[in-house]
Amino acid sequence: MLCGVKRLLNSSAIRCINFQLENTCHRTMSVTVDPMIESEINVNKRPMLDDGNDNEAKIQKTETETVQRIKRKNHAMMLSYLGKDYYGMQRNPGMKTIEEDLVAALLKADLITSEHFENIRAINFQRAARTDKGVSAIRQIVSLKLPENPDKAVINQHLPDVIRVFGIKRVTKGFNSKNQCDARTYRYVIPSFAFAPEDPSLLKLGEEVSEDERIKQVSVVDGKPYTDYRLSPESLNELNSILKLMEGTHNFHNFTSKTKPLDPRARRYIISFNCVETFVSNGLEFAVLEVKGQSFMLHQIRKMVALVIAVARNLVSKEKVNEAFKMDKLEIPIAPSLGLCLCHVHYDNYGKRYGADGLHETLDWKECEEEVEKFQKQYIMRHVVDTEISEQTTLKWVANLPEYSFSSIDEICEDVDEKEETVDYI
């Protein structure tokens, strides 16, 4: 009897416990599905990213982090370009420049990120020379950090035909294409008739003559059309003697703008300056002037060429060159940009120190010579010759050369009060 009671109590207790458990589970499930409580819980939850822009931003961030993890090494890149229709080498917001096209091509080739595109300093980008508007380059050098084994062919796929990358080499970690450059060589290609002496009886320096009359005067040299003019051995020797006056260390404040005579930056060292060759194209003879210096200022070479032409044409004496190195500010015009071209960037000291260490190469780019020369003839020289013949660039510039007195600014102000634009042009 007692055992039966115990079994009955145990059965009742078990049923009671099961009932309580069922109620507890039911209350718990009710809490989970209760709309009011669920709403409160959802308020505290982190919302999911439904927005397309947020998803895109998240993807871009992931891609950027992936690219940034790629190991980058310092490289030197050699490129050639035709300066026509470009506002110089250096990037300039809103302007068409060589660097803008180059960096855009690197981005499309997946060699840099969009952040690098906006801030090229992040990849230590540096140009060896900053060419001006319209100025071309046969061998321009830039240094920058790129992934290992970059393919120049892929870069060129995204560049216009007038810009070509011809070589990429690994360089030392601290290499800087501008700071470690020993010297730069430029060439200036110009029709040789520009150096033909003027007939002194036809004009006086500073005297105004109609443009049409002046063009007629300079279109005839020694009784023949200017296109027939050829530099004689004597004329070539005389030209080289004038060019040599520019060699050495001088104060070139008169050959740039906004630089004071006492500014130490005006002192520049010209290693050599001479006429290296002449050639005839389409019946017109051209002279190739080559100037090598440690560095150059804005418009310096073009003003040097302008003064040399003035001396060769007997518009001013040779003494004017030495006078230009003195303190007085002279009025010297700027020769056209058409014929100016960056030819070589020299890294002799770098080559001696690292070129034979087994890890790095010299930066003379001899292995690219054939391709570079082909580009130069096909684009740069053809443009110079065709433009000279079709637009008579040098002929018109030479015709206006006597408008400049090559005198000091004080003398200009006294003698030519009305020609304020000439003074402002300096």
d(CA 248, CA 387): 33
b or e along 201-219 (b: 16 or more beta carbons within 10 Å of the residue's beta carbon)?
A: eebebeeeeeeeebbebbb
Q: Does 87 belong to an annotated binding site?
A: no
Amino acid code (one letter) for 181:
C
Summarize pLDDT for 112-134 with one digit per residue, the tens: 999 999 999 999 999 999 999 99
**CATH number of this structure's domain 184-346+367-403, picked from the four choices 1.20.1560.10, 2.60.40.10, 3.30.70.660, 1.10.40.50:** 3.30.70.660
Q: Any idea which of 68-82, 261-275, 324-338 has the lowest mean pLDDT? A: 68-82
When pLDDT is cut at 50, 70 and 90, the band that residue 407 belongs to is confident
Question: Is residue 34 predicted with pLDDT exceeding 50?
Answer: no
Of 276 and 213, the one with more pLDDT: 276
> Is 417 assigned a catalytic role?
no
When pLDDT is cut at 50, 70 and 90, the band that residue 67 belongs to is very low
Taking Cα atoms as reference points, which of 102, 136, 195 lies closest to residue 381? 136
Q: Any idea which of 44-48, 73-77, 141-145 has the lowest mean pLDDT? A: 44-48
The fold for domain 72-180 equals Alpha-Beta Plaits (3.30.70)
Summarize pLDDT for 203-262 with one digit per residue, the tens: 655 566 788 888 999 999 999 999 999 999 999 999 999 999 999 999 999 999 889 999
Phi, psi of 142 (to 5 degrees): -125, 150
CATH 3.30.70.580 domain extents, the chain: 72-180
What integer best gives the mean pLDDT of the chain?
84
Residue of 132, 199, 222, 417 marked active site: 132
Count the neighbouring beta carbons within 10 Å of the beta carbon of residue 6.
10
Q: What is the pLDDT of residue 204?
A: 58
d(CA 83, CA 137): 7
Q: Considering the entire predicted model, what is its pTM?
A: 0.79
Question: Is residue 53 predicted with pLDDT exceeding 70?
Answer: no
Q: What is the pLDDT of residue 405?
A: 85
217, 208, 404, 335 alpha-carbon torsion, rounded to 10°: -50
Of 399 and 69, the one with more pLDDT: 399
Of 70 and 97, the one with more pLDDT: 97
Burial class (CB in 10 A: 0-12, 13-18, 19+), 49: exposed
